[in-house]
Amino acid sequence: MLPTHIDSTELPRILQRLMAEASQKQPEDTAALPRRSFLKLAGAGGLALGAFPHMAMAQAAGKGAAASTLKPTQQPSAFVQIAPNGEVTVTHNRLEFGQGVQTGLPMILAEELDADWSLVRSKSGTNDDAYHDPAFGMHLTGGSNSIKNSFTQYRELGARARAMLLSAAAARWNVDVSILRTQAGTVLGPNGRKLGYGELAEAAMALPVPEKVRLKDPKDFKLIGRPTTRLDARAKSSGRQDFGIDVKHAGQLTAVVAHPPVFGARLASVDDSAARAVKGVKAVLRVPLDRGAEGVAVVADGYWPAKLGRDALKLQWDTAAAEKVDSDRQLAQYRELAKQPGARKFDADMAPLAKAPRQLDAEFVFPYLAHAPMEPLNCTVKLSGDSAELWVGTQCAGLDGAAAARTLGLKPEQVRVNVQMAGGGFGRRFVSTSDVIVEACEIAKAARAAGLNAPVRLLWSREDDIKGGYYRPMHLHRARIGFDERGKVLAWDHVIVGQSITAGSVFEPFQVKNGIDATATEGMRDPYPLPMRLTVHHPKVNVPVLWWRSVGSTHTAFVMETLLDEIARSTKQDPVAYRMQLFGDKHPRHRAALQLAVDRSGYGKKQLPAGRAWGVAVHESFESVVAYVVEASVKDGQPVLHRATAGVHCNLAVNPRSVEAQVQGAAVMGLSMCLPGGAITLKDGEVQQGNFGDFTVPRITDMPEFAVHIVPSAEPPKGIGEPGLPPLAPAFANAIAQLTGKPLRQLPFNLADAKPA
């Protein structure tokens, strides 16, 4: 969902740039917990361990100990709350939007805490510095980094809390702490003594927080690695789970916005008389929007009157200065651009290409894609004097809090962002311009100026969301490959044309090198030892673009894996054996994932029904490898995916059940790229799709039988939210090509190429 090539040492600089316009970032206070935060914890009927770290440090200093150097991200006080009945609430430092961190991070902490899992609960954090990604130094949910970057952090948080509880029990019993042990939320002592964590929390919270702790040997894990039902499963399956869209406050108003039909357009005239006459409408406000555009917000006492008011607006738009993109013209322009010299990512010698005994020329076309999460975008803003509070499902609470502060004329510390569970996002809830948050704050500010002193919830409709911009970019790939009779590639000349998703953003200085956005080329060439020349063009187009689940690998994996399959077919080699030969002995994780998928699918051993074929693909993204072996057919000219078997190497799987769900969910998105109607197109500058009726997503009837198998590993976990997506489409396409003899070279699939030869 986010760039994967940013050096972690650069992230603090990025954060400073993001917040520079809002205010200078306050220095971290590694000791004090804000008074209102403690009162909230205590008032909730529980005690946060280390809630008075400044007192604990003073006590320790009185005994000659050095003051603590722990950062806020290392303090249990912000993450662990233990109620008198022993219930443990773990705060997670990420947005939960379907990927399972609400369960995975508490599992990690509870493992080292030795908590009773039946008593563990979880809640979302805020824009407090304690909830920074410990590796990047900023609030961040993306890049499949949540479990990977917080694995050691949450283990140490749990171990610190456990050590404090043990010390409190030792003091109460007047025994040496070394003779005590913990089990399922209880401290066990000599002579059958035992104390529940809830009985010890008050005493433990006043103790110094240990800086160094001993972590468990992985062989002693009781929770980590065990398939575990998610903590939110019951609420979601019963319809009781609240999301950002469900936030309600007394007197709350709802706003909807009329956005321009062409990106960047401004208003020529507004007739809002009919809108103001709609019952329930409180105000009609002209507001600035993202990318220099303008819009009209209708504020009402509910969504329906706000929508009716918007429908009644009579607006004239000035689109004269805005580029009006047309998808057909754009493709023609990209084809011409692909013939021109450009920036080079790889620059292998192409002399062998002309003399190669076999030649392959291919063009691939990938459309714009909308994120289309199930929960449309929303943000609730409450203004109170010289402060503001936001409720929003955000992937970067600090960035959005700073943008809110800038918009409202406040300091960052005067804005509190309450991170809400979100119904999907896939990257759309982290935009460096904070477009939706700024829009909500502009409306709240204008509403207050109009005399409406009430919380305001901005709510986008499904059509607003799909037409609202920030898409996965359109791409064109051109490849000329020369190889010999054994399939050895002698030269591979490749061109990519597509917008940069980081150009013009704060990420540009760190992502764009020599004119090439690294997110556009990730997944090209490696891990295969290919002599490749890679040329890249990044045209500027008036369509806002953004990362989309698995970022560049959404298109690069398809190109690489279908072309390699085509070389294997043309030289009459088994596609699995061909890939294994290319891996050699340098890529054991790729080999293991592919072999597991092959073994569990029955590839090459079982007889497929008539009209079906195998398809294979393997790809690494976000440091995890996923291989698919699929079975597919063509029915009435339509490609049909019947079965998919995944082999996954993500190192240690904290919760195998979540890994399985993530791979399945990612595969569904991968399938969505293949189906007719799964594209965003533009005509005269306007997006032509508006809802699921014309922007296709897979239905239950499109779903194959699905099996996920995980390569066992005790190595620290890697990313898993996105890696399941890239190889699904090429595996499907390779199966169809086996049946028809025609390679599929565009997404969604071209049905003419899917017909049997």
Q: Measured between alpha carbons, how far is 528 from 580 in angstroms, rounded to an integer?
A: 10
Is residue 59 scored above 70 in pLDDT? no
> What confidence category does residue 732 fall into, taking pLDDT thresholds of 50, 70 and 90?
very high
- What pLDDT digit, counting tens, does each position of 695-724 carry? 999 999 999 999 999 999 999 999 999 999
Instruction: Tell me what the mean pLDDT of segment 464-471 comes to.
Output: 95
Of the candidates 583, 617, 621, the residue with the CA atom closest to the CA atom of residue 601? 617
Instruction: Tell me what the mean pLDDT of segment 386-397 comes to.
Output: 98
> What confidence category does residue 16 fall into, taking pLDDT thresholds of 50, 70 and 90?
low
Q: What is the pLDDT of residue 30?
A: 32
**Helix, strand, coil distribution of the chain in percent, nearest 5:** 35, 25, 40
> What confidence category does residue 637 fall into, taking pLDDT thresholds of 50, 70 and 90?
confident
Instruction: Tell me what the mean pLDDT of segment 133-149 comes to.
Output: 95
Q: What is the pLDDT of residue 35?
A: 30
Instruction: Tell me what the mean pLDDT of segment 357-378 comes to.
Output: 97
Is residue 21 scored above 50 in pLDDT? no
- What pLDDT digit, counting tens, does each position of 225-264 carry? 999 999 999 999 999 999 999 999 999 999 999 999 999 9
Share of residues in the chain with pLDDT > 90 (%): 88
With beta carbons less than 8 A apart as the criterion, state whether 197 and 187 touch.
yes
Q: What is the pLDDT of residue 506?
A: 77
User: Averaging pLDDT over each range in 50-59, 313-322, 502-511, which range is the top one?
Assistant: 313-322
What integer best gives the mean pLDDT of the chain?
92
Q: What is the pLDDT of residue 10?
A: 57
- What pLDDT digit, counting tens, does each position of 411-458 carry? 999 999 999 999 999 999 999 999 999 999 999 999 999 999 999 999
Is residue 58 scored above 50 in pLDDT? no
Which are the contacts of 178, defined by CB distance < 8 A and separation ≥ 6? Answer: none
The per-residue b/e assignment along 393-409, b for 16 or more CB within 10 angstroms, e otherwise, is bbbbbbbbbbbbbbbbe
Instruction: Tell me what the mean pLDDT of segment 737-752 comes to.
Output: 92
> What confidence category does residue 184 fall into, taking pLDDT thresholds of 50, 70 and 90?
very high
Instruction: Tell me what the mean pLDDT of segment 176-198 comes to.
Output: 97
Is residue 52 scored above 80 in pLDDT? no
Q: Measured between alpha carbons, how far is 334 from 337 in angstroms, rounded to an integer?
A: 5
Strand ranges (E), 519-677 = 532-537, 612-621, 624-635, 638-649
Instruction: Tell me what the mean pLDDT of segment 602-627 comes to.
Output: 97
| Radius of gyration of the chain from its Cα atoms, rounded to whole angstroms | 28
Tokens 């057919």 locate to 633
Instruction: Tell me what the mean pLDDT of segment 579-587 comes to.
Output: 95
For residue 527, is the peptide bond before it cis, meaning its omega torsion is within 30 degrees of 0? yes
DSSP 208: P
Instruction: Tell me what the mean pLDDT of segment 570-599 comes to.
Output: 97
> What confidence category does residue 9 fall into, taking pLDDT thresholds of 50, 70 and 90?
low
Is residue 8 scored above 80 in pLDDT? no
Q: Which of 516-520, 574-578, 694-698 has the lowest mean pLDDT?
A: 694-698
What are the φ/ψ torsions at residue 216 (nearest 5 degrees)? -65, 150
Which are the contacts of 141, defined by CB distance < 8 A and separation ≥ 6? Answer: 94, 95, 97, 101, 395, 396, 430
Of the candidates 114, 110, 111, the residue with the CA atom closest to the CA atom of residue 122? 110
Residue 516, beta-bridge partner list: 513
Of the candidates 195, 177, 165, the residue with the CA atom closest to the CA atom of residue 76? 165
